[in-house]
Chains A and B, each alone.
Chain A
Amino acid sequence: MHIVVCVKQVPDSREIRIDPNTNTLVRQGVPAIVNYYDLHGLEEALRFKDEMGAEVTVVSMGPPSADKALKQCISMGADRAVLVSDRAFAGADTLATSYVVGITVQKVAEEFGPVDVVFCGKQTLDGDTGQVGPGVACRLDYEQLTYVEKVVELSDKDKSITVHRHLEDGIEVVKTKLPVVVTVLTELNKPRRASLPGVINASRYKPIVWSTNDFSDIDRSKIGLKGSPTIVSKTWVPEPRKIDTKILEGDNATVVASELIEQLWSTELPTRLGW
């Protein structure tokens, strides 16, 4: 069983600020982390490494500095990491990205053995589109299972997978044949903390780096800015919603509380709630 996990290095959204003048993300000084949905994909892959000896390959497209993200995956237990990095890939939208990730998975299959499962995060923290996973599945012509919150069974014997998909109106239990692309939710599992030998191993590990030249039949019109039809015409920061705030004052808590209740009753809220 060979599992590929797609990861992306993203700016830590907990520390993101928006430049009020240009309306763009301030990336300077914001720490880079592994997109956390992807970490749940990795954890699931590692679970199958522990349980059935699956081989785990992590792939990422990004600048050379993304090797830090890949090393983190190695520290957790991935067997190998591939970084696809080239200036020609820069400026890619989801269409171009899924093309590159697709040919990367193909190349991984050619070099390290056929791929059975590809785990992707549901979406990235910085892009939020959720398009790359399904895009990769289409290009590879694999089955695709999105919004997966549980992998019930992964069978090497009959090359099948059974999962729970979290949909708006309930949970769908699906079984399909391999190979498959699975995009995962955070409910799936709890990513592990790397062991000390894992961290030491990762610290010495050098990810495999592929550039455009390493792909023999790459279609250069489909990568980078050229392969990206998406145009960002405008970005803006939504106006903060203005809410009427009142501060009630009184001699003691009881007075303030009864005043609060009185004011709440005088609004339309109780009627709306059917009280």
Chain B
Amino acid sequence: MATERFDAIIVGGGPAGSAAAYTMAKAGLNVVLIERGEFPGAKNIFGGVLYRKQLEDIIPEFWKEAPLERRVVEQRMWLMGKDSVVTMGHRNEAFKEPANAWTGLRVKFDQWFASKAEQAGSLNIYETVVTDLLREGDRVVGVRTDREEGDLYANVVVVADGVNSLLGKQLGVHHEWQPDQVSLAVKEVIAMPKEKIMDRFNLEGDEGVTTEFIGQLGGMAGLGFMYTNQETISFGVGVMVSDLKRTKIRPYDLIENVKQHPMIRKMLQGGESKEYAAHLIPEGGFHAIPPLSGNGWVICGDAAQLVNFVHREGTNLAMTSGKYAADAIIEAHAKGDFSKDGLAGYDRRVRESFIHKDLKKYQGLHGLLNDIDPKLFDRLPAALNDAAYQMLLIDGLSKAEKQKAAIRGLREAAGGTANLVKLGIKGWRAING
């Protein structure tokens, strides 16, 4: 029993681990997935949006069985002033068929995804913590768990143990995060009667709306979100840990303050907070991505810092990287070569894929966010709100004067014309460079 050797051990039952386990099990490999939580998803949170494309590549027509909440037909962006908001958004019936994205709850989704892997033949074990990697020379040959007789051997270990990757640290590819490399997402799931949600967000059937907002986050660089589920609303904010440290605002107080904003309060009132969770999100960007494979191991998902922090795509990248890792291991299995060279197919796939291209495209952005004064996250949306207010207020001033005042306001918020222009250029470069 103890001497049983697996083709692969997957550490972590999140989307990266489940995608890897599912793909390999389907190809007939003997795999075991080890999850520390009581069940998959017990320790996970995500904002709550799941895109069709990447999961469809792994499980065709998954939406017919996966526990999803609502089809996203409208995306809103709110630029917040102190007691005001400038809204932008797009709603389109075309997002319904085929659906572009769904809102979802990780607790349900992860359980389902892991059960798919199990049905495909993966051996899933829970409440078991992997404490160490087992090595022979420069090769990883298995894992040590916190259970009795807890050593397990395999040709490859797939490290998908999340943002604080303990094993990544042991491999030396993952260092303690610096406060400016991670953001903290705090999230509440707020229960509300279905009818109320549908009326408030103007929804029909399983339609859903995502709202993201900038500004009024206590002077921090970050983003807020509000997603409609069936009978709950996922609400939260993500801010840089370095900003929390600087402002000494506690995450819980931050989310409570944000909820008091009149625009948000009115959307959430009457709801009952059901869950509160906080999770680190790696935001180090392209430059923080470690080597993705070595002798007898690969690393996927959050553990590998594969998050496109401009878009909310942690879950997507996690699943896709898990699948790529699995594809590479299946190849290595056929060749019988589990060395760094044998597993190089994984690195190649990631680098050829959208993951790498997207992360590379936005590589300057992380630096930009760090460079610019976080107060701008409040000041610029606020100036925009002032401008909108002035333009719409009928008080006898001419439109020309109002326009001038609006531009002046924005310029001042940015700290002068030179800064505004510089910011524009930097931003453009960061995204298009």
Q: Which residue of B lies closest to A195 (CB)?
A: B148
Say yes or no: is A243 at the interface (Cβ < 8 Å to chain B). no
B320 interface residue per 8 A CB criterion: no
Which of B123-131, B294-302, B400-408, B413-421 has 4 or more CB atoms under 8 Å from chain A? B123-131
Q: Check if A196 sits within 8 Å of B123, measured CB to CB.
A: no
Within 8 A of A (CB), among B139-173: 145, 147-152
Interface flag for A211 (CB, 8 Å): no
Which residues of A (184-202) have their CB < 8 Å from a CB of B? 193-201
Contact B125 A203 (CB under 8 A): yes
Chain B nearest Cβ from A190, distance in angstroms? 14
Determine whether A31 belongs to the interface, using a CB cutoff of 8 Å to chain B. yes
Taken together as a complex, chains A and B put the C-alpha atoms of A200 and B1 apart, in Å, by: 9
B393 within 8 A of A: no
A246 touches B (CB below 8 Å): no
Q: Give the residue name and chain of the B residue nearest to A197 (CB).
A: B1
Residues in B neighbouring A199, C-beta threshold 8 A: 125, 128, 147
Identity of the chain A residue whose Cβ is nearest the Cβ of B33 in the assembled complex: A203
Closest to A199 in B: B125
CA distance A31 to B37 in the complex (A): 13
Q: How far is the CA of A194 from the CA of B1 in the complex (A)?
A: 14
Please give me the residue from chain A that is nearest to B148 by CB atom. A195
Q: Tell me whether A14 is interfacial, beta carbon within 8 Å.
A: no
- Residue in B closest to A33 when the chains form the complex, CB atoms: B38
Partner of B128 from the list A31, A196, A201, A204 (CB cut-off 8 Å) is A196
Do A200 and B125 touch (CB < 8 A)? yes
In the bound complex, do residue B4 and residue A200 qualify as a contact, i.e. CB atoms below 8 Å apart?
yes
Specify which of A31, A196, A203, A204 is in contact with B149 (CB 8 Å cutoff): A196
State how many angstroms separate the Cβ of B270 from the closest Cβ of chain A: 17
Q: Which residues of chain A are near B32, meaning CB under 8 Å? A: 200
Max chain A Cβ within 10 angstroms of own Cβ: one of B123, B124, B148, B150 = B148
Interchain CB contact under 8 A, B4 and A196: no
Q: How many contacts between A and B, using CB within 8 angstroms?
A: 35
Q: Is B94 an interface residue, CB under 8 A from the partner?
A: no
Decide yes or no whether B397 CB sits under 8 A from chain A: no
CB distance from A130 to the nearest CB of B (A): 28
Name A197's contact: one of B38, B124, B149 (CB within 8 Å).
Answer: B149
Contact, CB under 8 Å: B38 / A196: no
B2 adjacent to chain A (CB < 8 Å) = yes
Chain A residues lying within 8 Å of B123, measured Cβ to Cβ, are 200, 203-204
Compute how far the CA of A203 lies from the CA of B150 in the bound complex, rounded to whole angstroms: 15
Which of B125, B149, B150: most chain A CB closer than 10 A? B125
Known: A196-B148, A197-B1. A31 touches B125 (CB 8 A): no
Nearest Cβ in chain A — how far from B239, in angstroms?
A: 30
User: What is the distance, in angstroms, from B328's C-beta to the closest C-beta of chain A?
Assistant: 25
In the complex, which of the residues B1, B38, B147, B148 contacts A201, with contact meaning CB atoms closer than 8 Å? B1
Task: Note all chain B residues with C-beta closer than 8 A to A196.
Answer: 2, 125, 128, 145, 147-152
User: With A and B bound together, what is the CA distance between A203 and B32 in angstroms?
Assistant: 10
Q: Could you tell me if B38 and A195 are in contact, using CB atoms closer than 8 angstroms?
A: no
Contact yes or no, B147 A195, CB < 8 A: yes
Q: What chain A residues lie within 8 Å of B148 (beta carbons)?
A: 193, 195-196
Q: Which residue on B lies nearest to A75, using beta carbons?
A: B125
Provide the residues of chain B in CB contact with A201, threshold 8 Å: 1
Assembly CA distance A31 to B123 (angstroms): 21
Contacts of B4 in A (CB 8 A): 200
How far, in whole Å, are A237 and B2 apart by their CA atoms in the complex?
51
A204 to B124, CA, bound (A): 10
CA distance A135 to B112 in the complex (A): 40
In the assembled complex, the Cα of A203 lies from the Cα of B123 at a distance in Å of 7
Q: How far is the CA of A193 from the CA of B125 in the complex (A)?
A: 14
A31 and B150 within 8 A (CB): no
Q: Closest residue of chain B to A203, judged by CB?
A: B123
Contact B147 A203 (CB under 8 A): no
A195: B residues at CB distance < 8 A: 147-150
Task: Identify B38's interface contact among A31, A193, A198, A203, CB under 8 A.
Answer: A31
Q: For B152, what are the chain A residues with a Cβ–Cβ distance below 8 Å?
A: 196
**Residue of A with least CB distance to B108:** A29
Complex alpha-carbon distance, A198 and B150, angstroms = 10
Query: A194, B124: Cβ atoms under 8 Å?
Result: no
A196 to B147, CA, bound (A): 5
A203 to B124, CA, bound (A): 7
CA distance A210 to B167 in the complex (A): 44
CA distance A204 to B121 in the complex (A): 10
How distant is the Cα of A194 from the Cα of B127 in the complex, in angstroms? 10
Distance in Å from the Cβ of A195 to the closest Cβ of chain B? 4
Interface residues of B (CB under 8 A from A): 1-2, 4, 32, 38, 123-125, 128, 145, 147-152
User: What are 22 A-to-B residue pairs whose CB atoms are below 8 Å?
Assistant: A31-B38, A193-B148, A195-B148, A196-B125, A196-B145, A196-B147, A196-B148, A196-B151, A197-B1, A197-B149, A198-B147, A199-B125, A199-B128, A200-B1, A200-B4, A200-B32, A200-B123, A200-B125, A201-B1, A203-B123, A203-B124, A204-B123
Q: Please give 20 more A-B residue pairs, beta carbons under 8 A apart, in addition to A195-B147, A197-B2.
A: A31-B38, A193-B147, A193-B148, A194-B147, A195-B149, A196-B2, A196-B125, A196-B128, A196-B147, A196-B148, A196-B149, A196-B151, A197-B149, A199-B125, A200-B1, A200-B123, A200-B125, A201-B1, A203-B123, A203-B125
| Ranked 10 nearest A-B pairs via Cβ | A195-B148, A196-B147, A197-B1, A196-B150, A195-B149, A199-B125, A203-B123, A197-B149, A196-B149, A195-B147
User: Could you list which residues of chain A lie within 8 angstroms of chain B, going by C-beta atoms?
Assistant: 31, 193-201, 203-204
